[in-house]
Amino acid sequence: MLQYSNEKAYTFKGGRVNMVSISDVAKQAHVSKMTVSRVLNHPEQVSKEIFDTVQTAINELGYVQNRAGRALATNKSYTIAFVMLDEVAAVDPYFGQLVTYIADILNQAGYTMELHRSLDNDFHAIDGILVSGARESDDAQLNALTYPLVTYGEQAGAASVDVDNAAGIKLAKQHLVDAGYEQLIYLGLDLDEQFAQARLDGFLDSEIPVDQNNIYRIANDDHIARSLVQTLQLAPKTGIVAATDRLALGALYACLIDQQAVPQDVGIIGFDGIFIHQMGPLTLTTIAQPLERIAEAMVSQLLEQIEQQVRTNPHIVLTPELQLGDTTLHN
Amino acid sequence: MLQYSNEKAYTFKGGRVNMVSISDVAKQAHVSKMTVSRVLNHPEQVSKEIFDTVQTAINELGYVQNRAGRALATNKSYTIAFVMLDEVAAVDPYFGQLVTYIADILNQAGYTMELHRSLDNDFHAIDGILVSGARESDDAQLNALTYPLVTYGEQAGAASVDVDNAAGIKLAKQHLVDAGYEQLIYLGLDLDEQFAQARLDGFLDSEIPVDQNNIYRIANDDHIARSLVQTLQLAPKTGIVAATDRLALGALYACLIDQQAVPQDVGIIGFDGIFIHQMGPLTLTTIAQPLERIAEAMVSQLLEQIEQQVRTNPHIVLTPELQLGDTTLHN
DNA sequence: TTGTATGCGTTATCAA
DNA sequence: TTGATAACGCATACAA
């Protein structure tokens, strides 16, 4: 099923085209290579006249800096590795957003982002590493890395950026109570990971007492959540706190199928706020992870380590925000 | 809301740690630099004894090749730029999968993948470019690039890999007819893009005649699709062909709310098969884009250009596949 | 089979 | 303010 049609074909002379180097620019501008280098890196040290001459030459020749040469000379590559250890199938939409934000922010700072999917390969020519989806079993490998490093999610022995998961769930509870829901149910994850535990802890927080019998822990699957919720006898004015938007969506389906009025009789609030919350028959009310702020924090912490040439291990915690949708009552 | 706790802090001596070079290995193994280089690049030219000695030295010292040095010497960087021009919010889950496949495949081939989000920045130190989400307005910029280039989706003057959208929709029609649905409705996109037109063309294909009055074109939004379908009088045994899974999901919501039996009375089939199709109360039957094959085709076509040092413009078309779900009747 | 000399493009150092 | 020289780490060409 392949269609080939060679309309235009030209060779890349000598491997690549456009091999204008700093020497070519220097010749064209009748100055030394160093002067050209200074125009690029320390323009304040160059006289206005020469600066203009060199700039003109650069434009005329279409000179583009060769990063390999610079990397070799400066021992800096202006490249950051983003290592994505999560299973994409499980975290899909979140991944796309995070990687995009990080790439954009790094780009603005003059860096390039490489994408890696494993810690096993050697890293070459990078100035630092960002990691998402690391587990405890990755600790040894992470600690063996000799690069500036920031992880997403708490990690021993490494700088990290994380969301305050417990605070997020407390926010969710408060919102449901404020909206007049009287009985709270928790649809949680049966995962043995730190964030899952923290979200459960948030639900168990004593400020708003809850009934231990109303806590369920299942896999992060909307179909399973739907089945579970369909077995429950939901009293009027029930508020469902789901540990993820995906679970919340399952609860919503259950209500829809069983003719429960959402948000009048049952309120549903999810967690994450990334794509999935808007994929239901109703837009979910959710606790939104501040992905852009997460990306910014990860990058700025990493660049600080690079600049200071010191590896530090701060644990930066960001508070998620309530994002109103159509599955809870509110003004 | 920041918590800092510096447990361990050490400096990166001289910018980075671990600056073992080929010279250090050579010294340790009592050979010349060239012999070390050969062990790495042409092991067959080296005697077994020396090979082992050098390998031992490499392991002992923890030597990692410096890519900048190699790039400078060989004029190859073993780095590919993947330029993602799509709006992430619109194509979210698809993007995550594609970029992941491409990164993995490139990695296996010994390449590193950089992620870019614009064609505006200069590209340095790359061997080739992959592009997704280009529009006609990007043609000029793409043609100005002097690197080996492959785009996803048809593009003038560049090699491209695309899905046979018309064939996919024809597959969908055939499946619905085979399943016994008698009246076909098309829920299409109002976009002015090539793929949207191709999918419509597939529905209009004369092999299975359709009624022009049963064609609707809207934005790619499940809420809008739901509203639209709710206004339709769906005769029993109606088959809905949706141009995207997101539109199909909207149709499914409409049926659910209006108590139409899916798949018994109404059959629904989507297009894309990436994440969204499994996010509904029922798993969608869909025409799945072969993302992994797309990624493989893009990479292999690009590497071929790089190897041959020739820019060619084949148009590679891949056929999508029917993926059965719970929204159509079948055995 | 192994070693020597040279150059890739850039920047830092030092001298003018 | 500008320029000459050396160095970064590696691989190619050539010599031994």
Distance of alpha carbon B169 from alpha carbon B321, whole angstroms? 10
Cβ contacts of A277 on chain B, cutoff 8 Å:
none
Region B147-167: mean pLDDT is: 92
Distance of alpha carbon B94 from alpha carbon B272, whole angstroms? 8
CB atoms under 10 Å from CB of A321, counted, come to 14
Tokens for A27, please give them. Answer: 């010749």
Question: Which structural domains are found in chain A, ordered by start?
Answer: 8-74 (1.10.260.40), 79-162+291-318 (3.40.50.2300), 165-289 (3.40.50.2300)
Tokens for A227, please give them. Answer: 């089945």
Judged by C1' against the alpha carbon of B23, the nearest nucleotide is: D9
Cβ contacts of B108 on chain A, cutoff 8 Å:
none
Which residue is closest to B167 within chain A, CA to CA?
Answer: A1
Distance of alpha carbon B22 from alpha carbon A147, whole angstroms? 20
What is chain A's pLDDT, residue by residue, as a tens digit (331 residues)? Answer: 333 333 333 444 334 445 788 988 998 899 999 999 999 989 889 899 999 999 999 998 888 888 899 998 888 899 999 999 988 766 667 888 899 999 999 999 989 999 999 998 888 889 999 999 888 888 888 888 888 999 998 877 889 999 999 999 999 999 999 999 999 999 999 988 889 999 999 999 999 999 999 999 999 999 999 999 999 999 999 999 999 999 999 999 999 889 999 999 999 999 999 989 998 889 999 999 999 999 999 999 999 999 887 888 899 999 999 999 999 998 7
Judged by C1' against the alpha carbon of A68, the nearest nucleotide is: C9
Q: In what order do the strands lie in the sheet with A238-242?
A: A215-218, A183-189, A238-242, A266-272, A285-288, A321-323
DSSP state of A77: -
Judged by C1' against the alpha carbon of B32, the nearest nucleotide is: C3
Cβ contacts of A68 on chain B, cutoff 8 Å:
67-69, 71-72, 77, 125
pLDDT of residue A91: 63
User: What integer best gives the mean pLDDT of chain B?
Assistant: 89
pLDDT band for position B92 (50/70/90)?
Answer: low
Tokens for A76, please give them. Answer: 């800096």
| Span CA (A46) to C1' (C10), Å | 18
pTM (predicted TM-score) = 0.89
Does B64 lie at the interface with A, CB-CB under 8 angstroms? Answer: yes
CB atoms under 10 Å from CB of B158, counted, come to 25
D2 C1': nearest CA residue? A35
Q: Do B9 and A312 touch, CB atoms closer than 8 A? A: yes
